[in-house]
Amino acid sequence: MSNPIDLDPFARFRAVTRARIGLGRAGDSLPIRAVLDFQLAHARARDAVHGRVDFSAMAERIGATQSVIRLKSRATDRSTYLARPDLGRRVDPTALAGIEKGEWDVAFVIADGLSAAAVEAHAETVLSACLRRMGDLRIAPIALGEQARVAFGDEVGEAFGARIIVVLIGERPGLSVPDSLGAYLTFDPKVGRRDSERNCLSNIHADGLTHEMAADKIAWLTRQALRLGLTGVDLKEDMAGTEALPAST
């Protein structure tokens, strides 16, 4: 009896990766299964980008244990958000009035970003796991940001007066994972911060970084950022070591 691997030499590689390799051919085209799988993946990615997070239900669930504030960006709708990334980076001025400045160590923002599916599937669980690890820190009310991008958190953190902002956001979906969540940490958040001043954790999803692993990393980075007074390229991520060191050392 023939070995399937002998008949399909790419089978062993497809077993350990989501990459579309060795798909075969049917005449001068792809086999119908490969075509249908691609179309399904593309549809899921589009749905993730154009979907909407039910922030009302989320606010109710989180509000059972934490203070919550609803915010919107300056992008008035999804079409504008996708066409004008700059508007998604700033908070609607009318919403800023609802933020009270305080002596907060950490502020969290849950932002829809480019994957509503990721936020719905993972954001609340990751947030809860983070809060369990940060019980000794002063946590600002949880901000829910609609039509928001990563830099949206800079203005929110500045308004709160928080020492560090953690943005949990839906990442741009790919054709293999449409529901990947990202986490971005920025020390001393303020409008105009550069991406190089942030630490990023990506690929939080069922087949990537688990919720608990992500929370471990976020909590560790948060504490080291508060201790050293920095994030971004100046902060090494080395959880195996006893303490983080500035990248310049």
Q: Is 190 part of a structural domain of the chain?
A: yes
Domain that holds residue 157: 50-234
| Sequence-ordered list of residues with C-beta below 8 angstroms from that of 136, at least 6 positions apart, any chain | none
Q: Is 79 part of a structural domain of the chain?
A: yes
What tokens were used for 99?
């933020």
pLDDT tens-digit map of 179-197: 999 999 999 999 999 999 9
Query: Domain total for the chain?
Result: 1
Q: Is 164 part of a structural domain of the chain?
A: yes
Q: Is 187 part of a structural domain of the chain?
A: yes
Q: How many residues make up the chain in this entry?
A: 249
Per the CB < 8 A criterion, the answer to whether 192 and 215 are in contact is no
Q: Is 89 part of a structural domain of the chain?
A: yes
Q: Is 189 part of a structural domain of the chain?
A: yes
pLDDT tens-digit map of 3-51: 555 577 888 887 787 777 778 778 888 888 888 888 888 898 888 888 8
State which H helix or E strand residue 78 sits in. helix 78-83
Q: Is 42 part of a structural domain of the chain?
A: no
Q: The domain that contains 212 carries what CATH number? A: 3.40.50.11240
What percent of the chain clears pLDDT 70, i.e. is strictly above it? 93
Q: Is 13 part of a structural domain of the chain?
A: no
| Sequence-ordered list of residues with C-beta below 8 angstroms from that of 209, at least 6 positions apart, any chain | 201, 202, 203, 217
